Amino acid sequence: MNDILKKKLRQLNTLVELSSLINSTLDTMEIKERAICAATHLLSAEAGSLILVDQDTEELFFEVAFGERGEELKEIRLKKGEGIAGWVLETGEPLIIDNVQTDHRFSKSADEKSTFVTRNMVCVPLKTKDRVIGVLQVINKKEDSFDEEDRDALVALANHVAISIDNASLYQELKEAFYCTAMALAEAIEKRDPYTGGHTKRVMDYSITIGKAMGLSKRELEYLELAAILHDVGKIGVKDDILLKEGKLTPEELAEMVRHTKYGAEILNHFRHLKDVAVGVKGHHERFDGTGYPDKLCGEEIPLIARIIAVADSFDAMTTDRPYRKAIDSKRAFEELTTHMGTQFDKKVVETFIGI
Ligand SMILES: [Fe+2]
């Protein structure tokens, strides 16, 4: 097998491996970072960068830069059409440049900023179905200069990267739409009871702060956030005369009121992928000593996100005015939480909250 064929085969293998690595995540930033590492590795180069278009100003900016002093490049913004990146973006054509310093399209701002000397470069467009979203550029071949095979390999990689970024953005939009729906639903329930205005947002903020301090994973934090937003969604099934009653509830009314945890879980169980959120919603009135509701779960049988929401929910209830009593200050609310550690609340959660 001749050298060119061998090189092509090696690049093809690397390309397949790197493309599946890029495709294995739906996190847009992770895709971009992996893309730059993959591009520089694929072409045996010293550095690389991913330049995107700001949709509002049409300026180009360095989204991810890999190599020496890559961070400083992020401050640079190029005008529409400026620089080699601007040319590739406007024409949609890939480009190999053997001597960048003498090319009339070259904008020196990146080199000046990073004190990096660009010798040669391959720059290719990132094309999605209907537009060019940016460019991928690879700088300084470690040995020799870039050739047509390098350019073609980078074009192939860029096609994968563009599709991955597009998919991840769609997924992100879908997630945001769901999140907004959840917020709207929570607000609709809050609107029935004017005294609870802003309660959901505060419970969410306290819960996330505790969750982060307790070292929850990214996914667990997402579940916690949704469960905190939707913790009282089941109140939609509780009649107004019980929900808004100012005096003490009768045993029958109380029995109806406590059902909001079950109703909430039932509503969320329609979403198969939200099982962990549903158990968090269902368990937010369980007590650590097993005397809570609806299932009288005890200790760590209660899902952690429910134990966190229980503390956040109670703290907010104590520190805001309600029709039947006045708010107490944070210091007293913390004392209350401490008093009920191990009985009503999880000690670790309360200690973390107070520690923050
Ligand atoms: Fe509740």
Round to whole Å and give the CA distance between 272 and 280. 14
* Ligand 1 center from residue 189 Cα (angstroms): 12
Angstrom distance (rounded) from CA 252 to CA 272: 32
Distance of CA 218 from the midpoint of ligand 1 (Å): 25
Tell me the C-alpha distance between 225 and 312, whole Å. 12
Closest by CA to 182, choosing from 233, 219, 218, is 233
235 is known as an active-site residue: yes
The 10 Å CB-count burial string (b at 16+, else e) for 285-310 is bbbbeeebbbeebeeeebbbbbbbbb
Write down the pLDDT at residue 71. 65
What separation in Å is there between the alpha carbon of 232 and the centre of ligand 1? 5
- Out of 212, 235, 282, 296, the active site residue is 235
3-state secondary structure the chain: CCHHHHHHHHHHHHHHHHHHHHHCCCCHHHHHHHHHHHHHHHCCEEEEEEEEECCCCCCEEEEEEECCCHHHHCCCEECCCCHHHHHHHHHCCCEEECCHHHCCCCCCHHHHHHCCCCCCEEEEEEECCCCEEEEEEEEEECCCCCCHHHHHHHHHHHHHHHHHHHHHHHHHHHHHHHHHHHHHHHHHHHHHCHHHCCHHHHHHHHHHHHHHHCCCCHHHHHHHHHHHHCCCHHHHHCCHHHHCCCCCCCHHHHHHHHCHHHHHHHHHCCCHHHHHHHHHHHCCCCCCCCCCCCCCCCHHHCCHHHHHHHHHHHHHHHCCCECCECCCCHHHHHHHHHHCECCCECHHHHHHHHHC
Q: How far is the CA of 331 from the centre of ligand 1 (A)?
A: 23
What integer pLDDT is reported at residue 222 of this predicted model?
94
| Res 244: pLDDT | 84
**Which pLDDT score, from 0 to 100, does residue 68 have?**
57
pLDDT in tens, 167-225: 888 888 998 999 999 999 998 888 887 667 788 999 999 999 999 999 999 999 999 99
Would you state the pLDDT for residue 352?
96
Q: Record the pTM.
A: 0.74
CA of 322 to the centre of ligand 1 (A): 15
Give every CB contact of residue 127 below 8 A, 6+ residues apart in sequence: 92, 133, 158, 159, 162
Dist. CA 172 → ligand 1 center (Å): 29
Distance 215 CA to ligand 1 centre (A): 25
Per-residue pLDDT at 229: 95
Tens digit of pLDDT for each residue in 308-327?
999 999 999 999 987 677 88
- Average pLDDT for runs of 10 along the chain of length 356: 77 78 80 87 88 85 70 70 88 92 83 78 90 90 89 91 88 91 90 79 96 95 95 92 86 93 94 92 96 94 97 95 83 95 96 94
Give pLDDT, residue 342: 93
pLDDT, position 74: 65
C-alpha distances in Å from residue 147, one per residue of 97, 122, 293 = 9, 9, 69
